[in-house]
Amino acid sequence: MLYRVESDLLGEVEVPEDALYGAQTQRAIANFPLGRQRTVGSFPTLVRGLLLIKKAAALANARAGCLDARRAGAIVQAAEGLLQEPRPDQFPVHHLHGGGGTSANINADEVLANLGEELLGGRRGQYRQLHPNDHVNLNQSTNDVYPAACHIAVILSWRPAHAALARLSATLAERAAAYRDVPHLARTCLQDAVPVTWHDFLMGQAAFVDRRLEQMDRAVDRLHVVGLGGSIIGRPADVPPAYLAGIVPSLCLVTGDGGYAQAQNLVDAAQNADELAAVSSQADLLARGLVKIAKDFRLLASGPEAGLGEACLPAVQPGSTCMPGKVNPVIPEFLIQLCFRVMGNHAACVSGLDHGELDLNVWESSMVSAILESFELLEDGLGAFVDRCVRGLEVDAALNERHAGTLIPALAAASKALGYARVTEICRQAGGDRARTLHLLQEAGFQAGSSS
C-alpha cells in the first residue's frame, strides 16, 4: 500500500494515499482497534447527520461573511456528493472512540476537506485550499456538532422502524377483523377467566402498539432541538452572532425538515443528553411490550395436542432434529430475542446519561449507537413477525368456542344473577365437581349459557 505523509499536533502520520480521511482519523484507527466491531461508517444516518451539519455550516458561514463563496461552495459540493453516493469505508473509526465524538467529527472534516481540496485544484492531503479545521469546522466544535448529528441520526433512523411498527398495528387489526365473532377465553394468572372475542384480544395488542408508536414519535420529535451554535460549551460569544442566528435555519434548509430548532439554553445542550435517553427508554418499553405480544402468540399456539392450541401460527421450518412432525414458534422467539437486545441497549444508553459530568456529556457515542442498533433490531424483528407470523395467524373456532363455555365463565355469569356469596357457597357444596356445580346452579335458577 502506498502512503502519503501528513502532520498534526503530535507529528507526522502515514495515511493511505487514496484515503479521503487524514492524520487525525488515522490516529483514531490506531488508537481504537476495530477488531470485529462497527465503524462510524456502519451507521449511515450518523454519517449523514455529520455531512448535513457540515453543509449547513458552510452555508451559514458564507452568509455570515466568515467563509468565502469559493471554499463554501467546495464544502457544499463535497457534502452533496457523499450524501448522494455514500462512502462508509471513508469513516473507519470505531463507533465507541474516546473523546466525545471528536474522531467522528474530524473524520468528516478531513473527508470533506480532501474532496474540496481536489475540487479547488489541489491535491489530497495538502489542505492548502481547504483546511479541515480552519474551513470545514469553522465556528463549530465537536461538542455542538456531534450531539446534533446524533439527534439527526435518530430522527432519520426512526422512520423505517416507525413504518414497521405501524404495519404490525395494521396487521393485528386485520386479523382481529377476520375473527371478530370468534370467542376467546380470557385468562388471568394463567387461569380461566371470562369470554371475550379474538377481536377484543388482538385489538388490545394493537392499542398497545399504537400508544407506544405515539409516545416514541413524541420522544424522537423532541430531538429536533439541537445545540448547534453552542460551540465548545454553549457560550454564544464563541461564534459570530450572524452564524449563531443562521446555523439552525441553514440546517432546516439542507435537511428539508423545518422542525429543527436551536436549544434555548446552549449550556444545557452541552451538559445533558437526556433526550437521547428518553428515546431509548421508549424503545425499551416498546420492546418489553412486544415480548409480551410474542409470548402470547407462542402460548396460545402451544400444543399441538397437550397445549392451549387455540391459535395456529404459520409453520416456517421443522422444529426438531429428533422429533418428526414438531414445529416450533420460531418467529415469535426471534422477535423476543431481538427485543432482549433492545433492553440491553437501553441499559448501555442510560449509563451514558448517568456518567455525564460537569460541562459536557462525552458518552453520546455509546448512547446513539445503542439507539440506532435498537431501531435496526426492531425494524428487522417486526418485519419478520408481521410477514411470517401475524399475517398468517389462524384460530381454531371450535376449540375456542368450547373453552369459552367452561366452568369459570359460567360462574362469573352466575354471580351477576345470583350474587357472589351464593355462587361461592354453591362452589363449596359441589367440592370442585363440575357437573354438580352446574346442577346446583340450575336448581338455584341459573342456566349455564345464559346471563339470568
Rounded distance between C-alpha atoms, residue 187 and residue 116, angstroms = 66
Kindly list the catalytic residues.
Answer: 320
DSSP β-bridge partners for residue 3: 16
Cα three-residue angle 207-210-212, rounded to 5 degrees: 110
Q: Distance of CA 275 to CAs 219, 305, 371, 438, Å?
A: 7, 49, 12, 58
Joined together, the cell numbers standing for residue 348 give 448501555
DSSP β-bridge partners for residue 312: 394
CB 407 within 8 A of CB 434: yes
Rounded distance between C-alpha atoms, residue 236 and residue 259, angstroms = 22
Can you state the percent helix, strand and coil of the chain, rounding each to 5? 65, 10, 30
Rounded distance between C-alpha atoms, residue 226 and residue 219, angstroms = 14
Helix 420-430 × helix 407-418 angle, to 10°: 140
